[in-house]
């Protein structure tokens, strides 16, 4: 059974950093591309980043490019999102999601809340 | 403003049918599969439809999807109060990003 569990969220001041983790289980982690998607309070889904199954390629939303870094450790079955220079507009629930072959995001974690506030 | 355009809300009575549209362009819907996601209140999104019109295991056939050109449609028949949720379309964009619609809130009257 596929499980994705995010952690690392919390309250952080503007300009500071935070690293999110997504622990994966129930499937062969190294075979799948992985995404981070966020959702600001009361708003819609906002894509953040993708990392290829083997980590060879990474792409980012313009709003986070240069500030966020997606990475993965297949030995630990864990996906990461390093978030630097955080802004108030980064406040959101952050979800990790698995990508299947048809580009659909077929499994999502429960999310972790990041609040950027002074 | 979202890359994909959805109506903000739709509503219908229990037992009725509703459709939700999703409009994009040749850089996204026109050349890629469309997925649909259901987000119940307080929950994470859940895959409802993939590859335009396929249902994951466990999704009832009351839910259907279609795509034509640069637009896609989600259909829900036999509406139930438990279907009240936000629905999002999503697809890959040639500018190397996943894109979503702004979401449609379904109310079952």
Chain A CB within 8 Å of residue B13 CB: no
Closest to A18 (Cα-Cα) out of A31, A28, A9: A9
Query: Confidence band (pLDDT; 50, 70, 90) for B2?
Result: confident
Q: Model confidence over A49-104: pLDDT tens digits? A: 999 999 999 999 999 999 999 999 999 999 999 999 999 999 999 999 999 987 89
Rg of chain B on CA atoms, in Å: 13
Share of chain A above pLDDT 90, in %: 97
Q: What is the mean pLDDT of residues B28-53?
A: 97
User: Which residue does chain A place closest to B3, by CA atoms?
Assistant: A46
User: Is residue B29 classed as helix, strand or coil in its secondary structure?
Assistant: helix
Chain A CB within 8 Å of residue B50 CB: yes
Q: Taking 90 as the threshold, does the pLDDT of residue A113 lie above it?
A: yes
Q: What is the pLDDT of residue A103?
A: 87
Distance, in Å, from the CA atom of B93 to the CA atom of A73, rounded to the nearest integer, reads: 26
Distance, in Å, from the CA atom of A31 to the CA atom of A28, rounded to the nearest integer, reads: 6
Query: Minimal Cα–Cα distance from A56 to chain B, Å?
Result: 14
Closest to A48 (Cα-Cα) out of A11, A10, A16, A6: A6
Higher-scoring residue by pLDDT: A17, A103: A17
Closest to A69 (Cα-Cα) out of A51, A87, A54: A51
Query: Minimal Cα–Cα distance from B14 to chain A, Å?
Result: 25
Q: Model confidence over B44-97: pLDDT tens digits? A: 999 999 999 999 999 999 999 999 999 999 999 999 999 999 999 999 999 989
Report CB contact under 8 Å: A44, B103.
Answer: yes
Ramachandran area for residue A109 (φ above 0: left; ψ -120 to 50: alpha; else beta): beta
Distance, in Å, from the CA atom of B29 to the CA atom of B91, rounded to the nearest integer, reads: 6
Q: What is the pLDDT of residue B1?
A: 82
Share of chain B above pLDDT 90, in %: 94
């Amino acid at each position: 059974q596929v499980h994705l569990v995010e952690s690392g969220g919390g309250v952080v001041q503007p300009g500071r950093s935070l690293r999110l983790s997504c622990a994966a289980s129930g499937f062969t982690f190294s075979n799948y591309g992985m995404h981070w998607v966020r959702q600001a309070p009361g708003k819609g889904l906002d894509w953040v980043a993708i990392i290829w199954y083997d980590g060879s390629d990474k792409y980012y939303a313009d709003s986070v490019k240069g500030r966020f870094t997606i990475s993965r450790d297949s030995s630990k079955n864990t996906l990461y999102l390093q978030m630097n220079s955080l802004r108030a507009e980064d406040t959101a629930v952050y979800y990790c999601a698995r990508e299947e072959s048809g580009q659909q995001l077929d499994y999502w974690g429960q999310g972790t809340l990041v609040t950027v506030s002074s | 403003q979202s890359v994909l355009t959805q109506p903000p809300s739709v509503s219908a009575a229990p037992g009725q049918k509703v459709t939700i549209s999703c409009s994009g362009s040749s850089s996204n819907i026109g050349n890629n599969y469309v997925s649909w996601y259901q987000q119940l209140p307080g929950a994470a999104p859940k895959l409802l439809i993939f590859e335009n019109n396929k249902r994951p295991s466990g999704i009832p056939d009351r839910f259907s999807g279609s795509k034509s050109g640069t637009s896609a449609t989600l259909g829900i028949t036999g509406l139930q109060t438990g279907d009240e949720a936000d629905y999002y379309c999503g697809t890959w964009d040639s500018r190397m990003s996943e894109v979503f619609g702004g979401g449609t809130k379904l109310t079952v009257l």
